[in-house]
Each structure stands twice: as C-alpha cells, then as structure tokens.
Structure 1
C-alpha cells in the first residue's frame, strides 16, 4: 500500500494525500498547491507521505 500511495502522490497528488491522512488542512494545502502546478503538489504529496511513514515506523502519534 505504501508504494501505491507514493505512486499516486506523483501522478494525482491530492489522492495520495487523501489516502494517507484523510480530509483535513493537509489535503486542502495539497489541492491548492496542485492547482498552482502539478510539481508543487507532487513534491508536497511525497513529503507528506514520507513523513507519515516515518512517524508510523517510529511508533509516534499520527497528526
């Protein structure tokens, strides 16, 4: 599932973020960045997904 989220984060950034963190301010920021351009949205999506996975690996609290 992790690989699918990363691929979706590259291709359709808001969908990758939605599948990772759900509906919230992070998704709204990603939608706005994606509307400004595909590249900013993709960079943000990959960053959000990677940080989420890092927190899961450390056993920390998720958002």
Structure 2
C-alpha cells in the first residue's frame, strides 16, 4: 500500500480475474474499463482502515 502525493491510496495486490468474484463485485459497484479489482491481503485491513482515517476497529 502506498499513499500518493495527492492523498490517494495505491493498493498493490493480485488482480482479481475470477468471473464469479467480479460478477459479485459488479452487483454492488461498477468496475470501469480502465480499472482492476485488486485482492489486498487480509493483513492490510487495519492499515487501510487507519489510512482512511479510521480509529482502531480491532481487526484481529
């Protein structure tokens, strides 16, 4: 994970290519043609939450 100069989060992970997972995601949000769904390891949940301004949600 990287915090860009403009405050954007850049998440590094494996691209999700499984059609069933992509279909599930697209039921809730649109994936634009120039975007990828990325699988971030579960160990990053707390770091992502905190980078977005959250306070210790107890991700154990």
Same fold (TM over 0.5): no
* Structure showing the higher strand proportion among its residues: 2
TM-score if structure 2 supplies the norm length?
0.28
* Structure showing the higher helix proportion among its residues: 1
Larger radius of gyration: 2
